[in-house]
Amino acid sequence: MVTDLQFYKAVKSYNYRRSLIQDIPDIELKIISFLNEKETHEIRIPGYFISRSNGFLNIKEAPIIPINQLELNLDRETI
């Protein structure tokens, strides 16, 4: 059994998620246009690996590599 409040929350959630889906084609077009400008089919940015194959975007999360900080491995013996 679904309560009135659960029904209300489901409708509200559905409407919100549906509005998000409507923006996806525009966002995909921006990403594809950027890749075309750079004349590449794949690119890495902090936190993501983006590739395009057969007209489809593939976006994977990647470990963030700090680009402004060098990692220093200091041992007490070398100090």
Residues 14-50 pLDDT 10s: 999 999 899 899 999 999 999 999 999 999 988 899 9
pTM for the model stands at 0.62
Is the pLDDT at 78 greater than 80? The verdict is no
Mean pLDDT along residues 44-69? 85
Phi-psi region of 49 (alpha: psi -120 to 50; beta: other; left: phi over 0): beta
Q: Which residue pairs, CB below 8 angstroms and at least 24 apart, start in 36-40?
A: none
Res 75: pLDDT? 72
Every domain of the chain and the residues it spans: 4-64
What's the chain's average pLDDT?
Answer: 87
